[in-house]
């Protein structure tokens, strides 16, 4: 690890100010992704601002009937929350499909959203990577790309977004609430939160330096049947090859969000609109612009098979 | 083992203690406030409760909780396997919840409580899970065992607390089962593949404590 200075922030405002005023500063919450990357010197913060003690660990009802989830609520606590289990079950399901019990006890809501979009070449400092070192090229493009993204990719980067939780957040139309160093708060729809890689895969979100996630807000519950299906190389503690979060309505409508296939958690209006026409139609809609490699083109039929399985399960329920 | 028998742990422990050359537990402090480590990081004072005992030290902020336990407190029961949160050998309980001690910085835990394998039980008074691992032969080489035991104890508590897992069929009704144990233990790898016996130990303890 490169050396850094450390401070425990006393307030949201102070944390944002500290992170904005020191070049190379980073917030640290659970730290499960950041410290991992610091050990490999892929992340080399000069200063860490610890945001664990800011009282951002509550889950509250909003006046609109939704739910405000503090940025520091741990993944375990969010998955176990009674309201989340009842009204936003896909979020519970997605959370427990991710990582391990130890990691979920530490990882936070805000930190989960901000874990790096990453691939094995990002982790291997002997290989070129436009995300880790802009302009050096991409080792994955001609390399082993089996797990990598097929949607939203660019000539610079084909890394897939690794979060399960974020897929559910995208499905539920979450808003990411932040505060910047000037004390200005804003709410960012999760659809606009993640940037596509384009020519700058090193930039992953719209957040500014020093802008701190304070909470994630869910709109009021939409009802329906919530499911999260994750297919991976082993039964537990592995990233998704493909995952699908779905909410089936009682009127034949449905909405879908996808993990493992996109440079960000993936959802399209076209796929949701195709829902009454079944798995094939939804697959065609969501994968219209897919760009695969010989290693990861299996993800296209896998998307359809997962959807077909979810539809069949839904029919059996009805 | 007789008192004067030479052990690997004893040799390694004493060699490292000479190298560190500082009192490490109790009220003693390893470096003066404001001093710097070899690499130039400012040292930070930390107070932790480890296995019920208050400890104070000055640490380079880069020190992981795992290294603080092993290298500074000489609690070498907690193991360093991958050092990246993938194997679970470093699992300890932080404020009652299991975490990977390799993926957190000690400075982030000023005022927190940590329980390690040494705090769960002792050779004279084993924790029921430690006893069950022996009874059911839940290990071969033993390197992953402290992490497995800390996780196994936590898993039974998590199920009792109603925390769901990927193996939970009904989110409102969490029932102890082999499928639940297997899923919840996936963050602890055993290269000797003692998994069936680890599950047997957990089932044994769950039966005892739920009876």
Q: What confidence tier does A133 reach under pLDDT thresholds 50, 70, 90?
A: very high
What's the pLDDT score for residue A49?
98
Judge whether A10 is closer than 8 Å to chain B, CB to CB: no
Q: Is the pLDDT of residue B15 over 60?
A: no
Annotated domain spans of chain A: 5-52, 225-317
Q: Mark whether B71 and B132 lie in a shared domain.
A: no
Q: Mark whether B111 and B193 lie in a shared domain.
A: no
Q: Mark whether B132 and B170 lie in a shared domain.
A: yes
Provide the Cα torsion B149, B186, A227, A145; round to 10°.
160
Two tokens, residue B120: 């769960």
Residues of A in contact with B85 (CB under 8 A): 32, 36, 100, 102-103
Question: Which segments of chain A does DSSP mark as H helices, in order?
Answer: 12-21, 34-39, 75-80, 82-87, 89-97, 101-106, 109-114, 120-123, 165-171, 190-193, 269-273, 279-286, 299-317
Mean of the pLDDT values across residues A28-37?
98
Q: Is residue B186 part of a domain?
A: yes
Q: For residue B101, what is the nearest residue in chain A, using CA coordinates?
A: A102
Two tokens, residue A206: 């719209």
From B120, B145, B176, give the residue that closes a domain: B120
Measured in angstroms, the CA of A180 and the nearest CA of chain B are apart by 23
Residue A255: φ, ψ to 5°: -130, 150
Question: Which segments of A152-293 does DSSP mark as H helices, in order?
Answer: 165-171, 190-193, 269-273, 279-286
Judge whether A191 is closer than 8 Å to chain B, CB to CB: no
Question: Which segments of A125-226 does DSSP mark as H helices, in order?
Answer: 165-171, 190-193
> What pairing do the DSSP bridges indicate for beta strands A47-50 and A67-70?
unpaired
The answer to whether A117 and A159 have CB atoms below 8 angstroms apart is yes
Q: What confidence tier does B42 reach under pLDDT thresholds 50, 70, 90?
A: confident
> Cβ A101–B151 below 8 Å, yes or no?
yes
| CATH code, domain carrying B188 | 1.10.150.120
Q: Mark whether B102 and B141 lie in a shared domain.
A: no
> What are the strands, taking DSSP E only, across B51-128?
53-59, 91-94, 97-100, 113-115
CA separation for the pair A109, A283 (Å, rounded)? 29
Q: Is the pLDDT of residue B20 over 90?
A: no
What's the pLDDT score for residue B36?
55
The answer to whether A296 and A148 have CB atoms below 8 angstroms apart is yes
Residues of A in contact with B115 (CB under 8 A): none
Q: What confidence tier does A318 reach under pLDDT thresholds 50, 70, 90?
A: confident
Q: What confidence tier does B33 reach under pLDDT thresholds 50, 70, 90?
A: very low
Q: Mark whether B112 and B134 lie in a shared domain.
A: no
- Of the candidates B41, B61, B99, the beta carbon closest to that of A102 is on B99
From B62, B94, B120, give the residue that closes a domain: B120
Q: Is the pLDDT of residue A283 over 80?
A: yes
Tell me how many domains chain B contains.
2
Q: Mark whether B71 and B141 lie in a shared domain.
A: no
Q: Mark whether B79 and B25 lie in a shared domain.
A: yes
Judge whether B180 is closer than 8 Å to chain A, CB to CB: no
Chains A, B: CB pairs < 8 Å = 109
Q: Mark whether B47 and B102 lie in a shared domain.
A: yes
Judge whether B64 is closer than 8 Å to chain A, CB to CB: yes
Measured in angstroms, the CA of B182 and the nearest CA of chain A are apart by 9
Q: Is residue B197 part of a domain?
A: yes
pLDDT, chain A, mean: 97
Q: Is the pLDDT of residue B38 over 60?
A: no
Two tokens, residue A151: 């949607």
Residues of A in contact with B62 (CB under 8 A): 1, 3-4
Q: Mark whether B45 and B61 lie in a shared domain.
A: yes
- Of the candidates A28, A76, A89, the beta carbon closest to that of B171 is on A89
B61 or B27: which leads in pLDDT: B61
Q: What confidence tier does A136 reach under pLDDT thresholds 50, 70, 90?
A: very high
From B69, B91, B120, give the residue that closes a domain: B120
Length of chain A as a residue count: 318
Q: Is the pLDDT of residue B1 over 80?
A: no
Q: Is the pLDDT of residue B40 over 90?
A: no
Measured in angstroms, the CA of B5 and the nearest CA of chain A are apart by 37
> Cβ B84–A39 below 8 Å, yes or no?
yes
Q: Mark whether B34 and B109 lie in a shared domain.
A: yes
Measured in angstroms, the CA of A6 and the nearest CA of chain B are apart by 7
Q: Mark whether B147 and B115 lie in a shared domain.
A: no
* Eight-class DSSP state of B41: P
Residues of A in contact with B187 (CB under 8 A): 99-103, 237
Judge whether B200 is closer than 8 Å to chain A, CB to CB: no
Residues of B in contact with A8 (CB under 8 A): 108, 110
**A225-317 CATH fold:** Enolase-like; domain 1 (3.30.390)
pLDDT, chain B, mean: 87
- Of the candidates B88, B105, B163, the beta carbon closest to that of A80 is on B163
| CATH code, domain carrying B70 | 3.10.20.30
Three-state secondary-structure class, residue B135: helix
- Alpha carbons within 13 angstroms on the beta-carbon side of residue B211 total 6
Q: What tens digit of pLDDT does each residue of A166-225 get?
A: 999 999 999 999 999 999 999 999 999 999 999 999 999 999 999 999 999 999 999 999
> Cβ B107–A6 below 8 Å, yes or no?
yes
Residues of B in contact with A236 (CB under 8 A): 166, 182-183, 186
Q: Please list the helix, strand and coil fractions of chain B in percent, rounded to the nearest 5, in that order.
A: 35, 15, 50
The answer to whether A95 and A163 have CB atoms below 8 angstroms apart is no
Q: Mark whether B103 and B40 lie in a shared domain.
A: yes
Q: What tens digit of pLDDT does each residue of B83-120 get?
A: 999 999 999 999 999 999 999 999 999 999 999 999 99
Structural domain including B140 reads 128-210
**A5-52 CATH fold:** 3.30.43
Provide the Cα torsion B192, B197, B203, B209; round to 10°.
-80
Q: What tens digit of pLDDT does each residue of B48-72 get?
A: 999 999 999 999 999 999 999 999 9
- Best A36, A84, A102 member to test B by mutation, with max B CBs in 10 Å, is A102
The answer to whether A287 and A315 have CB atoms below 8 angstroms apart is no
CA separation for the pair A277, B30 (Å, rounded)? 68
Q: What confidence tier does A58 reach under pLDDT thresholds 50, 70, 90?
A: very high
From the CA atom positions of chain A, what is the Rg in Å?
Answer: 19
- On the 0-12 / 13-18 / 19+ scale of CB atoms within 10 A, B7 is exposed
CA separation for the pair A39, A188 (Å, rounded)? 31
- Of the candidates A3, A5, A103, the beta carbon closest to that of B39 is on A3
CA separation for the pair A204, A127 (Å, rounded)? 20
């Amino acid at each position: 690890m490169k050396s850094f200075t450390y401070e425990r922030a006393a307030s949201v405002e102070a944390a944002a100010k500290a992170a904005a005023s020191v070049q190379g500063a980073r917030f640290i919450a659970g730290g499960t992704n950041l410290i991992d990357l610091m050990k490999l010197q892929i992340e080399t913060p000069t200063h860490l601002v610890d945001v664990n003690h800011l009282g951002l660990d509550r889950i509250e009802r909003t006046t609109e009937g939704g739910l405000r989830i503090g940025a520091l609520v741990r993944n375990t606590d969010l998955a176990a929350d009674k309201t989340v289990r009842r009204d936003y079950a896909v979020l519970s399901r997605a959370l427990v499909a991710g990582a391990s019990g130890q990691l979920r006890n530490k990882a936070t809501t805000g930190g989960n959203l901000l874990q790096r979009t990453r691939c094995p070449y990002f982790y291997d400092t002997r290989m070129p990577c436009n995300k880790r070192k802009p302009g050096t090229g991409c080792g994955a493009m001609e390399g082993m790309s089996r797990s990598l993204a097929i949607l939203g990719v660019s000539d610079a980067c084909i890394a897939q977004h690794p979060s399960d939780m974020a897929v559910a957040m995208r499905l539920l139309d979450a808003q990411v609430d932040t505060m910047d160093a000037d004390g200005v708060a804003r709410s960012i729809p999760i659809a606009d939160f993640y940037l596509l890689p384009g020519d700058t895969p090193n930039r992953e979100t719209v957040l500014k330096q020093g802008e701190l996630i304070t909470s994630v807000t869910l709109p009021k519950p939409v009802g329906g049947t919530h499911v999260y299906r994750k297919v991976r190389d082993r039964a537990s503690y592995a990233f998704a090859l493909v995952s699908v979060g779905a909410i089936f309505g009682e009127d034949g409508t449905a909405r879908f969000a996808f993990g493992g296939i996109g440079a960000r958690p993936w959802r399209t209006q076209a796929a949701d609109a195709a829902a009454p026409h079944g798995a094939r139609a939804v697959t065609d809609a969501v994968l219209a612009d897919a760009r695969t490699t010989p290693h990861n083109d299996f993800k296209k039929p896998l998307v359809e098979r997962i959807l077909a399985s979810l539809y069949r399960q839904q029919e059996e329920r009805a | 083992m007789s008192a004067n028998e030479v052990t690997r742990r004893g040799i390694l422990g004493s060699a490292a203690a000479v190298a560190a050359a500082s009192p490490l537990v109790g009220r003693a402090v390893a470096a003066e406030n404001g001093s710097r480590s070899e690499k130039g990081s400012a040292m930070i004072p930390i107070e932790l409760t480890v296995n019920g005992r208050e400890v104070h030290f000055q640490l380079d902020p880069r020190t992981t909780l795992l290294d603080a336990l092993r290298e500074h407190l000489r609690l070498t029961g907690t193991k360093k396997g991958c050092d990246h949160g993938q194997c679970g050998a470093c699992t300890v309980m932080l404020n009652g919840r299991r975490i990977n001690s390799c993926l957190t910085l000690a400075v982030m835990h000023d005022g927190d409580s940590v329980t390690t394998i040494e705090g769960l039980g002792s050779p004279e008074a084993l924790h029921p899970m430690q006893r069950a691992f022996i009874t059911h032969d839940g290990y071969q080489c033993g390197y992953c065992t402290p992490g497995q035991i800390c996780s196994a104890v936590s898993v039974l508590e998590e199920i009792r607390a109603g925390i769901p897992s990927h193996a939970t069929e009904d989110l409102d009704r969490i029932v102890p089962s082999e499928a639940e144990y297997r899923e919840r233990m996936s963050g602890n790898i055993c290269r000797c593949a003692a998994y069936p016996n680890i599950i047997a130990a957990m089932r044994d303890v769950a039966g005892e404590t739920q009876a």
